[in-house]
Structure 1
Amino acid sequence: MERAVTPPGLRPVGRKRTNRFARVVEIALGILLVAAIATSLLGRGGLGFGGVGGGKTITVGGKNFTEQDILVHMLSSLIEAKTDLKVVRKPFLGGSQVTHSALASRSIDLYPEYTGTGWSSVLGEAPIGGDPQTTYDKVKEAYETRFGITWLPPFGFNNTYTLSMRADAAERLGIDTMSQLAARSSELTLGATHEFLEREDGFKGLQAAYGMHFKKVTGLDPGLTYGAVKEGTTDVNDAFSTDGRIQAFKLKTLKDDKRFFPPYYAAVVIRDDTLKAHPELEETLNLLAGKIDDATMSALNGKVDLERKEPRAVAEQWLKEQGLI
């Protein structure tokens, strides 16, 4: 009865079977999505090394959450302002595997990625902590060698994974670190995105590193995790450190005292053939290198998630304030 009336985004994750099913569904949807994008773009003039519209169109893709939506519009508007290229905007394509597949298959030309995600989720390497520059250098070299894809210099902010819970609950339970959370995890529930539950640098690795065993684990759509904790539907959620809802919803992020999570510095990933066809893109996109710190990205996210402003308007307003468009 409970399963029949519970919305799909709030149903418990049945440990292995459901996680495997969610993974298969994401991959299948990704294949269909890439095919659909390619078909659509072929109708506009065919796929080309530098884009999709007779060599003068660039397609910018992004993942399925607010920060990526803002970055897609930021990159797209900057390209349109600084070059004679036309831009097709494709935010909310899906998770990491979907967007990477779209890039590799030439359905899109570039998108924003995170160093830790590229290393662990895309390349399938064991998570590495420590120095951000080391992580960037390793992932940059591996992408170039394996995929013919270039990592441009990072924007400047580190949107690392974290876990959060209501600040009042954390204080009441004496939880400040992830180790302290693990000690009480059998009393608590976790609501996390399906991608986080599947990733080795997410819940799988976190369980092994900290020995967490929650009373209940629920797979949620990305837009529901913070509200679920705020309303008390779940006790703990996976969070992005630059999400504006953390402060607005009075949540507390827990210290990763074992340094499990790697650095997640955001940067543009772009195919080498696209850069070769349009070398002006590198100089244009590098105008954003080092320009966006954690606080700035968090504030931009908050304008969309909390103030309900349009992502494109938020992105373009920031670009104007910086004198970039």
Structure 2
Amino acid sequence: MNLRRSLTYVAAGAALVMGLAACGGGGGSSPLGSGGASQAPAATDTIRIGSADFTESQLLAQIYGQALQAKGVKVDITAPIGSREVYFPALTDGSIDLIPDYTGTLLQYIKKDATQTAADDVYTALKAAVPAPLTVLDKAAAEDKDAVVVTSDFATKNNLKSIADLAPIANTMVFGGPSEFQTRPDGIPGIQKTYGVTFKSYSALDTGGPVTVKGLKDNTVQAADLFTTDPSIEDNKFVVLADPKNNFAAQNVVPLINAKKATDQVKQILNAVQAKLTTEGLVTLNRTANAPDKPNLDTVAKNWLSQNGLA
């Protein structure tokens, strides 16, 4: 996911607390609780919006929230929560009502034996698999996939074009990525099962952020999980290894929402946002958010909505 994606994921089972201050919307927000405790559900007329703790997810949460606010819907945008292993329970117990997610990894989280990889197949299976009280709205054309990434020098030296090409040398390599990638079905277990690639060791870094990028650049890790919409891939001339056997399923952006809060008005607003989101647009959003002047994410989101006629 991050992927993508920027910011450190909280490990599964970690405390779901952070002091959550509202970034926008009515009424302010209270903490999600301490020691993993849930907070009370939002008021029936308010949608509490969460995000994973990476930049793209935070941007999408702001875009969703501001689009809803522009049409008079009350929202409460929380501070970043953490990984899916943390925020999914918060959705199911009502601590939050809406979060931007990605179809393929969400499906595999809910249904670990899912085999669908094509975008439409994944989305169809996801709609059937999402448990009450949740539902998903329209998927966007925008896609942000996990990818196995190496430096251009390392790719040239070892004649690497696809993940399969790593098999002969993987036992000498350290792989870097978020802690969850080490155990998720399409992470290290999937790479090993699909391509017969077993790495020497795994280094738990951040989620598509500066620590992972630095690890690749200084050769602390020789391959890493980055998100395909991460501008650092292009900026550093990293090589994304092909995935011909589709270890990574389609990862289209999708709103995951409590069905009780998904009124016809809310669906119409969010589906209009989804219709404007493109993969190229995500790359641009991430690049803008990570510019040297470090603009506020709410401002980046506001400008995107204005440019797309949704403000």
Interval containing the TM-score (normalised by the shorter chain): 0.7 to 0.9
Cross-structure match for 1:315: 301
Long gaps (5+) in structure 2: 1-8, 21-29
1:35-46 → structure 2 map (5 Å cutoff):
36-37=31-32
Aligned-residue CA RMSD in angstroms? Answer: 2.4
Q: What TM-score do the two structures reach when normalised by structure 2?
A: 0.85
Cross-structure match for 2:138: 153
Paired with 1:126 and 1:152, the residues of 2 have a C-alpha distance of 20
Secondary structure at 1:234 match in 2: coil
Secondary structure at 2:52 match in 1: coil
Secondary structure at 1:262 match in 2: coil
The alpha-carbon deviation at position 26 of structure 1 amounts to 2.2
The alpha-carbon deviation at position 99 of structure 1 amounts to 1.4
Secondary structure at 2:100 match in 1: strand
Q: Which amino acid aligns with 2:86?
A: V
User: How has the CA–CA distance of structure 1 residues 31 and 315 changed in structure 2, closer, same or farther, with 3 Å as cutoff?
Assistant: closer
The alpha-carbon deviation at position 148 of structure 1 amounts to 3.0
Cross-structure match for 2:181: 196
Higher Rg = 1
More helix by share: 1
Cross-structure match for 1:9: none
Identity within the alignment, %: 26
Long gaps (5+) in structure 1: 1-21
The alpha-carbon deviation at position 279 of structure 1 amounts to 3.2
The structure 1 segments of at least 4 consecutive aligned residues displaced by more than 6 Å after TM superposition are: 31-35
Paired with 1:304 and 1:290, the residues of 2 have a C-alpha distance of 21
Cross-structure match for 2:278: 293
Cross-structure match for 1:62: 51
CA contact (8 A) 1:30 1:98 kept: yes
CA contact (8 A) 1:155 1:265 kept: yes
The alpha-carbon deviation at position 306 of structure 1 amounts to 4.1
Match of 1:104 among 68, 77, 92: 92
* 1:162 and 2:147 matched: yes
Cross-structure match for 2:234: 247
**1:262-291 deviations in whole A, cap 9, x for unaligned?**
11111101111112xx43111111111231
Q: Which amino acid aligns with 1:310?
A: N
* 1:228 and 2:215 matched: yes
Paired with 1:250 and 1:91, the residues of 2 have a C-alpha distance of 32
1:30-179 → structure 2 map (5 Å cutoff):
30=16, 36-37=31-32, 47=41, 52-53=42-43, 55-83=44-72, 85-129=73-117, 131-143=118-130, 146-179=131-164
The alpha-carbon deviation at position 312 of structure 1 amounts to 1.5
How many residue pairs align between the two structures?
288
Cross-structure match for 1:263: 250
Paired with 1:213 and 1:184, the residues of 2 have a C-alpha distance of 9
User: How has the CA–CA distance of structure 1 residues 82 and 73 changed in structure 2, closer, same or farther, with 3 Å as cutoff?
Assistant: same
